[in-house]
Structure 1
Amino acid sequence: MDKLKFDVPKLPGWSLYNVEGGQRAAVFNRIVGVKEKVYPEGTHFLIPWFERPTIYDVRARPYIVEGTSGSHDLQTVNIALCILTRPVADQLPTIYRSLGENFNERVLPSIVHETLKAVVTQYNASQLITQRETVSQEIRSLLIKRAASFNIALDDVSITSLTFGREFTAAIEAKQIAAQEAGRAKFVVEKAEQEKKSAIIRAQGEAASAELIGKATAENPSFIKLRRIEASKDVAQTISNSANRVYLNSDDLLLNLQGMNLSTSSLIEKMNCEGSQLFLIWGIFR
């Protein structure tokens, strides 16, 4: 059994390396340089001392870039962009040769500032606000083309901040205040016109009512008597609801019933039918 034994060569721990999920590796060889092969996820072998792996994260990551540019009407514009960026996995050896590991910091600031100046100068400050979506799409289109030449993929580009200088901001606020005041003044004018129309309609209604009352009075004198009785009911109701109880002559109660030839019993009965609590003594002081 001893003759069947043999020694197994032991590999040092640093001759193996792992590529985690969402990562890729580019390997530098001291003899051939950077290998063209891109190593996927998993555990891989390397030749100690001769090879050195560089691991890249190929998942999209947010990158924020802020820039200042001038608009078409010479206003200072401060823009912040949020960019979802990732390296093109198949081109990692090229990225390693030309840009190294910090490719975002080397490339994105320069191409973003160049793109912002090219796009923002085509619009006025007010257009940057009203046409923000169009501006964002144009910036995104240009950035994707510029980044592709560096083997960098941009999944999304969005404007997160858009500010202007103090003078322009103050002018916008003053314009908004003036617009609000103009709208308030317009509302007041419209309200006055509506009130005027309402007064005219009300006056026309009162005139028509007076005309109808005059016509009814001329055709039927009993209409006046009916109005006098209704007015006397209101007066009697008001007096009966008072906390004081007063016994007065019917002519002194201001019931406006003089000359109507109403009997006392009929008057009291009519008042009681209306729920009045007034006690009348007809002719007590006659």
Structure 2
Amino acid sequence: MFGDVSDEPLPEGLHFLNPLARVVDFNVRFQSATAQKAEGGTADLQEVFEDITVNYEYDPLHAPYVYNNFGDDSDIEAKFIVPALYESFKAVTSKYTAEQLVTQRSAVSAAIVLTLQAKLAKYKIIVSDINVQNFHFDPQFAEAVRAKVVAGQNRLTAEQSLETAKIATEQRVVEAEGNAKAIAIQASAVENQGGQKYIALEAIKKWNGQLPTYMGSNAPLPFISVTDGK
């Protein structure tokens, strides 16, 4: 009948058509749609907004059905896709705190994709992914978050400096204890090997046999040990 839409889409290429038939171009390639300044509220009652873009395509086999029931692709984007994008953003962000939106961005994006896919399923739309650059918050809240991050970084730096100083102190203590033990061991060895006699013997071993060419009146003679022969 006149005015009916064929259930069979025409693939790309050359076709012979009824002179009374009209062909409508329906884009089934990858497309993108953007929700400008999508707004939402977080679980901790902070306002959040962001430009969010979705990449999608239509199931080619269902193009006639979609056109017949919802219009052409440009109409569907304006009437259904963009509004669904706003709704999905608002629904998902309400389940996360502001901090979680920042730290769990991948999980948030995945949740938005699933929510959006469910909303657009009846239009035979396949959602590929979404693009969320940065979540924006109230300026005062953003400054508070920045201050918290800076304070955390400063605290971490201080803890690292304290740990470094602690390790250095422990190393000096270990080194001092090692030196003390070495001195004690040397002293014990000297005592066990004859005390002063051992020291004199070691000095004799290192003497080259030459006396000084000049000696002061009070200078001791080297290596003279007088013992009582009685």
Residue of structure 1 in register with 2:228 after alignment: none
Q: Which residue of 1 is the match for residue 35 of structure 2? A: 65
Query: Which residue is equivalent to 2:175?
Result: 202
TM-score, structure 1 as length reference: 0.62
User: Does residue 221 of the first structure (1) align with residue 221 of the second (2)?
Assistant: no
One-letter amino acid matched to 1:36: S
- Residue number among 141, 154, 161 corresponding to 2:133 in the alignment: 161
Larger CA Rg, structure 1 vs 2: 1
Give the Cα–Cα distance (whole angstroms) in 2 for the partners of residues 85 and 181 of structure 1: 44
The one-letter amino acid of 1:60's match is F
State the alpha-carbon separation in 2 of the partners of residues 62 and 230 from structure 1: 94
Could you tell me which residue of structure 1 aligns to residue 123 of structure 2? 150
Per the TM alignment, residue 170 of structure 1 is displaced from its structure 2 partner at its CA by 2.1
Q: CA deviation at 1:112?
A: 0.5
Aligned to 1:90: 61
Q: Report which structure shows greater RCO (CA 8 Å, sep ≥6).
A: 2
1:129 to 91, 94, 102: 102
Residue by residue, what CA displacement relative to the aligned partner does 1:148-168 show, whole Å, maximum 9, x if unpaired?
Answer: 1223232x1234312222233
1:149-204 residue CA offsets vs partner (Å, 9 max, x unmatched): 223232x1234312222233322322222122212222232233223323332332
Q: Residues 22-59 of structure 1, C-alpha deviation per residue, up to 9 Å, x if partnerless? A: xxxxxxxxx611322422223233444x4321112222
**What is the aligned residue count?**
212
**Which consecutive unaligned segments of at least 5 residues does structure 1 have?**
1-30, 234-247, 263-286
1-side partners of 2:206 and 2:4: how far apart? 112
Distance in 2 (alpha carbons) for counterparts of 1:42 and 1:202: 85
Q: Are the counterparts in 1 of residues 42 and 94 from structure 2 also a CA contact under 8 Å?
A: yes
TM-superposition CA deviations, 1:68-109 (whole Å, max 9, x none):
212111222233434222223233334334323412233211
Q: Distance in 2 between matches of 1:162 and 1:231?
A: 78
Superposition pairs for residues 90-129 of structure 1, below 5 Å?
A: 90-97=61-68, 98-102=70-74, 103-129=76-102
CA RMSD in angstroms comes to: 3.1
Q: Contact between 2:26 and 2:72, CA under 8 Å: does it hold in 1?
A: no
Structure 2 unmatched runs, 5+: 225-230
2:49 to 74, 78, 82: 78
Matched, 1:51 2:21: yes
SS of the counterpart of 1:259? coil
Match of 1:260 in 2: 222
Distance in 2 between residues matched to 1:187 and 1:43, nearest whole Å: 71
TM-score, normalising length from structure 2? Answer: 0.75
Amino acid at match of 1:32: F
Which amino acid is 1:158 matched to?
A: I
Does the 8 A contact of 1:34 with 1:93 survive in 2? no
Q: For 2:165 and 2:106, how far apart are their aligned partners in 1?
A: 42
Q: Is the 8 A contact 1:72 1:121 kept in 2?
A: yes
